[in-house]
Amino acid sequence: MIRARLAIAGLIVGASALAAPLVAAVAVQDTGLAAQDLAVLAGVIQLVRQDYVHPIGSDELVKDALKGMLNRLDPHSDYMDEQEFKDSQADTAGKFGGLGMQVSEQEGVVKIIAPIDGTPAARANLEPGDAIVMVDHTSTLGVSLQKVVDQLRGDPGTKVTITILRGKQDPFDVTLTREIIKVASVKSELKPGGVGYVRITQFGGDTADAFKKAITDFKRNAEGGVKGLVIDLRDDPGGLLTAAVDVAGDLLDGGSVVSIRGRQAEDQRSFTAPAHGDMLPGVPVLVLINGASASASEIVAGALQDRHRATIMGTQSFGKGSVQTIVPLKGHGAVRLTTALYYTPSGRSIQDEGIAPNVVVEAPKEQQISGGALMREAALQGAFKNPGPLNPSPGTGATQAATQVKAAYSAPIKADLIGKPDDAQLKAALAYLDEHADRQPGSTNRSAAEPGAK
């Protein structure tokens, strides 16, 4: 069974929430565990400590036991030790030390999903699909993603040598100098004709303010007013739920953005847009997605699609519809636990299926990443099946029809082409906005055999 996890040198990928710290361990009588079960666990730990061929501390065994227990639940639950927890907090803030690459683990091999613009990885011309087979001449085969990420990180100014396997080429070494990586989650540009282009690379703590500023700048600088808006969520692995809600809320006038449903009362929540929150009333909006658009990206795309505020273009999204809660364990790191599923305004779950575009436009073969299509949520070990809509009934209209375009998924565009002049999917988006400038966002599925096809 294939198991894959995504990270940007440890980036928290899912839409996440932070729970209150656990001051002490939960009392045994409250766990529902039989005494004999706990005795078996303690006995095995003692056996390993006493008889294993190499000495191992009980703290390491407990850590591994926690990781094993949580990793088996689903692809996104995990245990983080103190350092991993600290790193995850730095990642969410959009600033961390390292090389600047998004990586994944696929069948025990660590592969580069995308280098981050302006970082050591990008300057070294590392490419999506490159396999990192060694770090400082030590094999990464079978090593966990987190351990490889820890090896890649280090003090700014220090060097690390990674061995790359690219396609059928012979392996080659690349020596990089680590530095503080500052991730600009929002990049914006006013295109000719008054169309604003906003690229969101992840949903972090600064995303909502940066998105609002981009829209404000477009309104100030577009002669004759803003004629259209493209929000580019391709290769965006997600991030903070609150950031996604804020971004969607800047294009909606009140009403639902997303709802959460879990077992506990606090996990039954609905998030709404502010009244009169639309910063571009009447302006057509188009959202670009692909198979690497996940979680918070899907919240935004799903909300704008269901509310008929935007046309969604591209290929089927990743399909991560679960919410993770971070539970700090005082002095012992934190637990990252899947506690709920989220639903779009019409009540559909994105889990396992993703968002289907209204207009299907695939990247041309020459612009797709090497190595073929990326795995989606449904292919990950332990992934939840789609639970169906909250209120199953006919008449959900376009959103119900949109979920039928599952076969449209294909390999995402090469990361270094996103937003560039040769970006075929962006060209198709701009052409679509120009053609539909006087129409409201569409709600029916359309397919394009090639970018720009009508």
Dist. CA 408–CA 348, nearest whole Å: 19
Those residues with Cβ within 8 angstroms of residue 170's Cβ, 6 or more apart along the chain or in another chain: none
Dist. CA 223–CA 215, nearest whole Å: 14
- Length of the chain measured in residues: 454
Contact 288, 40 (CB under 8 A): no
Dist. CA 376–CA 244, nearest whole Å: 20
Radius of gyration of the chain (CA): 23
**Side-chain half-sphere CA neighbours of 431 within 13 A:** 14
Contact 197, 230 (CB under 8 A): yes
- The sheet carrying 311-314 orders its strands as 186-191, 195-200, 228-232, 285-289, 311-314, 359-360, 446-447
DSSP helix/strand/coil, 316: coil
- Name the residues annotated as catalytic: 295, 306, 320
CA distances from 176 to 124, 141, 170, 452 (A): 8, 21, 19, 39
In which element (H, E) is residue 300 found?
A: helix 296-306
Instruction: Output the CA angle 43-49-51, nearest 5 degrees.
Output: 95
In which element (H, E) is residue 102 found?
A: strand 101-106
DSSP helix/strand/coil, 371: coil
Q: At what angle do helices 207-221 and 241-249 cross, to 10 degrees?
A: 20
Q: What is the DSSP letter of 120?
A: H
